[in-house]
Amino acid sequence: MRVERDTPGMANTRALLLRGAGANLIASAATTLASLLVSLAVARHLGREGLGLLAVFLTAVMIGSLIADLGLDSVILRTFAGERWSAFPSLRSILRIKLAGSGLLAIVAVCFGIAAGAAHANLLVPAAVILLPRGVSSALEAFSKAQSLRRILVLTSVTTGLFLVSGVLAGLAIGWNIPQILLFMLAVESAKALGLFVLLVPKAPKSDTGGWRLLLRESLPFGFIGVAGATLARADILLIGVLRDASEAGIFSAADRILAAGNLVAFALYGASIPIFSTVADRNIRHEAVRQSTVLTLAVALVGAILLSATAPLLTRETFGFEESVAVLRILSWTLPPILANAIVGSALFSLHQERMVLAVLSIACLLNIGVNVLLIPRFGATGAAVVSLGTEWGITLAYAAVYATARRQHRVSSATPADRLQAGEVMAGQTQPDMQAES
């Protein structure tokens, strides 16, 4: 039986996806714009080395926050969008777990910083403590997306971005260095976490029925996926900082900050699509939503990649002023199509409960990415890392497409009626011909 291209259910799903993506896009735009402006200010005042140093430590914070998260944010997105929350612990209990995990990781990082010496401790200590408020705020942001509390999400993102940019600009004007900037970021992140807690926790269901075993069983695959994905996306900056120097990391970071504007669409669609794909009961409608979303985002991404590649010299010279970042940005611009496609197909695979396959794909890609980067970065620097990123993203796209096609075929077979299976078996055996009228 053929699926109609535009059913009422399909139209409603598409409308929900666009509304959710619109709110996520505004919130992500505020955060990304704030990060870009901070990076620009640091590059102008402290040069490539200062930018590279900040990028390396913030990358470590991001990967650390995902390690401490254990996949809880993704579970919040998927469960609080429907009625399954009653089988899980309350939001307050999840926040306590996140604080405990973030605190433990922060203590380990602080001890490592102290052991490494004073030159590293003044950077590692504030970066490590940022893990605590960031763990709370990320969980509450996931809850706001799941509950479609778009105004709160947008308000907190815009307000935080304004405070961050204005504070860093004022600090650099009076001579701040990277440790002082990290301390200020810690204060802003703490204020954001407190504001989200006051606004959102009263709106969460208060019943706590336990369900810790179920929570961990569902969250841990997401946790491993998050760590593998973050390592895959950001390990290049860490490796450049270790295998080359902070100046070379600054060259790569400048191009990466410009590219982040294009990735806004990916993050917005990912945050909006997981709750929707997880609650759509009709598999045909869900597949059509995935198909249309992927085609649309690929078309937009191809146009964006062409424009970004063509304007790379102008963008890099007028923003960061690093001539060496032009070639890096031209290469990275062609990662936009696979990154956007991976955001949609990846969330669809989550809705089909294919977390293990996603983890397998990302783990293999991560190991290959790190291995090839170790070989290329010492010789080619940031340009070599950009080439590796391009090949890795397109490889993930092909793997995701194969996994999704296989998973959808398995779900179609498993949902078929006994009569459908019998007829399918007879057709395969050559005993009957399918009803052509039914196909039309």
Would you state the pLDDT for residue 190?
92
Range of the domain at 74: 9-416
Is 49 contained in some domain?
yes
Report yes or no: 91 and 72 within 8 Å, Cβ to Cβ.
no
Q: Within a domain: residue 1?
A: no
Torsions phi, psi for 207 (to 5 deg)? -70, 140
**Average pLDDT for the chain:** 76
Domain membership of residue 128 (yes or no) is yes
Angle at 158 between CA 60 and CA 333, to 5 degrees: 55
pLDDT at 33: 81
The predicted pLDDT at position 209 comes to 59
Q: Give the number of domains in the chain.
A: 1
The one-character DSSP state at 202 is: G
By CB atoms closer than 10 A (0-12, 13-18, 19+), residue 354 is buried
Please report whether residue 432 resides in a domain: no
In a domain, 345, yes or no: yes
Tell me the two tokens of residue 199: 């606004």
The predicted-structure confidence for 94-149, as pLDDT tens digits, reads as follows 788 888 888 888 887 777 666 655 556 677 778 888 888 988 888 888 888 777 67
Judge contact between 320 and 253, C-beta under 8 A: no
Query: What's residue 259's pLDDT?
Result: 84
Q: Of 4-18, 254-268, 278-292, which one has max mean pLDDT?
A: 254-268
Based on the number of CB atoms within 10 Å of its own CB, is 103 exposed (0-12), middle (13-18) or buried (19 or more)?
Answer: middle
Better-predicted residue by pLDDT, 251 or 287: 251
Neighbours of 319 (CB within 10 A): 17
pLDDT of residue 426: 39
In a domain, 46, yes or no: yes
Q: Which of 14-28, 103-117, 175-189, 314-328 has the lowest mean pLDDT?
A: 14-28
Residue 87 reports pLDDT greater than 90: no
- CA dist 321 and 94 (Å) reads 44
Residues 6+ apart with CB under 8 A from 70: 97, 98, 101, 216, 219, 220, 223
173 — phi, psi (to 5°)? -65, -25
How far is Cα 357 from Cα 17, in angstroms, rounded to an integer?
A: 25
* Residue 178 structure tokens: 């990277």
Instruction: Give the dihedral of Cα atoms 82, 85, 90, 93; nearest 10 deg.
Output: -100
Looking from the CA of 215 toward its CB, the CA atoms found within 13 Å total 24
Question: Has residue 350 been placed in a domain?
Answer: yes
**Does 168 map to a domain?**
yes
Q: Model-level pTM?
A: 0.71
CA distance 231 to 359: 12
Calculate what percentage of the chain has a pLDDT beyond 70.
Answer: 73
Task: Taking residues 253-261, report their average pLDDT.
Answer: 83
What confidence tens digit (pLDDT) does each residue in 381-413 have?
999 999 999 999 999 999 998 988 888 777 665
Q: Which residues contact 345 (CB under 8 A, 6 or more apart)?
A: 290, 294, 397, 400, 401, 404
pLDDT at 13 over 70: no
